[in-house]
Amino acid sequence: MKYCFIALLSFASQLLSAASIEKQFYLGADLSYVNEMEDCGAKYYDKNKRQDPFKLFADKGANLIRVRLWHNPQWTAYSNLEDATKTLQRAKNNGMKTLLDFHYSDTWTDPEKQFVPQAWAHISDTDELAKTLYNYTTEILAALDAKNLLPDMVQVGNETNIEILQPEKTLVHGIPNWPRNATLLNSGIKAVRDYSKKVNKPIGIVLHIAQPENALWWFKQASEHAVLDYDIIGLSYYPQWSTYKLPQLPGAITTLKNTYKKDVLIVETAYPYTLENFDKADNVLGKNAIQPEFPATPKGQASYLLTLRNLVKAAGGIGVIYWEPAWVSTKCTTLWGKGSHWENATFFNAAEGNKTLPAFLFFSNKYQSKN
Q: Which residues are catalytic?
A: 159, 268
Amino acid identity of 301?
Q
**Cα(371)–Cα(357) distance, integer angstroms:** 18
Does residue 343 belong to any structural domain of this protein?
Answer: yes
Q: Where are the alpha helices (DSSP H) in the chain?
A: 2-18, 34-39, 53-60, 81-93, 126-146, 178-199, 212-224, 249-260, 298-314
Does residue 369 belong to any structural domain of this protein?
Answer: no
| Predicted local confidence at residue 365, as pLDDT | 63
- Each residue's pLDDT tens digit, 324-359: 999 999 999 999 989 999 999 999 999 999 999 999
- Residue numbers of the chain with a pLDDT score lower than 70: 1-22, 365-371
329 touches 348 (CB < 8 A): no
Into how many domains does the chain fold? 1
Closest Cα to residue 89, out of 43, 149, 18? Answer: 149
Does residue 335 belong to any structural domain of this protein?
Answer: yes
| Predicted local confidence at residue 76, as pLDDT | 96
Helix H, strand E, coil C: the string for 254-285 is HHHHHHHCCEEEEEECCCCCCCCCCCCCCCCC
| Predicted local confidence at residue 366, as pLDDT | 62
Cβ atoms within 10 Å of 24's Cβ, excluding its own: 11
Does residue 26 belong to any structural domain of this protein?
Answer: yes
Measured in whole angstroms, how far is the alpha carbon of residue 92 from the centre of its chain?
18
Who contacts 75 (Cβ-Cβ below 8 Å, separation ≥6)? 106, 107, 335
- Report the CATH number at residue 136: 3.20.20.80
**Cα(144)–Cα(148) distance, integer angstroms:** 6
Does residue 140 belong to any structural domain of this protein?
Answer: yes
45 touches 2 (CB < 8 A): no
Burial class of residue 148 (count of CB atoms within 10 Å of its CB; 0-12, 13-18, 19+): exposed
| Predicted local confidence at residue 20, as pLDDT | 35
Does residue 371 belong to any structural domain of this protein?
Answer: no
Measured in whole angstroms, how far is the alpha carbon of residue 45 from the centre of its chain?
24
Does residue 143 belong to any structural domain of this protein?
Answer: yes
| Predicted local confidence at residue 23, as pLDDT | 74
| Predicted local confidence at residue 2, as pLDDT | 45
In a 13 Å sphere around the CA of 258, the CA atoms on its Cβ side amount to 8
**Could you tell me the residue range of the domain that residue 337 belongs to?**
2-363
Does residue 39 belong to any structural domain of this protein?
Answer: yes
